[in-house]
């Protein structure tokens, strides 16, 4: 596959124009703040650092056009394996290791044998974090 056609790679999965591609990318980067009680005043907030970032990729697959019917099933199987995977975007940015925490799919526009012609999907990833002490 031409590397210029890869939008993002998650472990062995390649999101791009020749396979599953996403039409929306959402990133949530929450921060942790804890209230600290103060006598006679409202609590103050203490910054405790960043929380786990979440990335959601949502898109549509037309399995008879490219990639086949089992693409999302393979991602779900990888999620069940519980292994973090490296996330790299098509611009070369390394997003560190992520895990798949949720896989959603909706199959529609069925053929006579029950095979869907359209699969809408959403995959939620969370940053795995560092293993270093």
Length of the chain: 133
- Lowest-confidence region among 17-21, 41-45, 64-68: 17-21
User: Does 34 score more than 80 pLDDT?
Assistant: yes
CA-closest candidate to residue 61, choices 49, 71, 74: 71
Rounded-to-integer distance, Cα 116 and Cα 93, Å:
34
Task: Provide the pLDDT for residue 5.
Answer: 78
56's tokens: 């959601």
What number is the average pLDDT over the span 18-43?
A: 89
The helix (run of H) or strand (run of E) holding residue 56 is strand 54-61
pLDDT tens figures, 57-115: 998 888 877 667 788 889 999 999 999 999 999 888 999 999 999 999 999 999 999 99
15's tokens: 């999101």
User: Does 16 score more than 50 pLDDT?
Assistant: yes
Task: Provide the pLDDT for residue 1.
Answer: 44
Task: Provide the pLDDT for residue 20.
Answer: 63
Class of domain 3-127: mainly beta
CA-closest candidate to residue 20, choices 90, 92, 120, 106: 120
Say which residues have a Cβ less than 8 Å from residue 95's Cβ, sequence separation at least 6: 55, 86, 87, 88, 89, 127
Rounded-to-integer distance, Cα 11 and Cα 103, Å:
16
**0.85 exceeded by the pTM?**
no
CA-closest candidate to residue 7, choices 91, 63, 115: 91
């Amino acid at each position: 596959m031409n590397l210029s056609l890869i939008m993002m790679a998650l472990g062995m999965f390649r999101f791009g124009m020749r396979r599953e591609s996403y039409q929306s990318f959402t990133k949530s980067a929450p921060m942790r703040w804890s209230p600290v009680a103060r006598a006679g005043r409202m609590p103050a907030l203490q910054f405790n650092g960043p929380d786990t970032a979440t990335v959601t990729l949502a898109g549509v697959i037309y399995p008879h056009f490219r990639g086949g019917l089992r693409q999302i099933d393979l991602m779900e199987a990888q999620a069940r394996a519980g292994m973090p995977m490296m996330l790299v975007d098509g611009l070369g940015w390394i997003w560190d290791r992520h895990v798949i925490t949720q896989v959603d799919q909706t199959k529609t526009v069925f053929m006579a044998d029950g095979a869907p012609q359209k699969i809408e999907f959403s995959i939620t990833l969370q940053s795995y974090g560092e293993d270093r002490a």
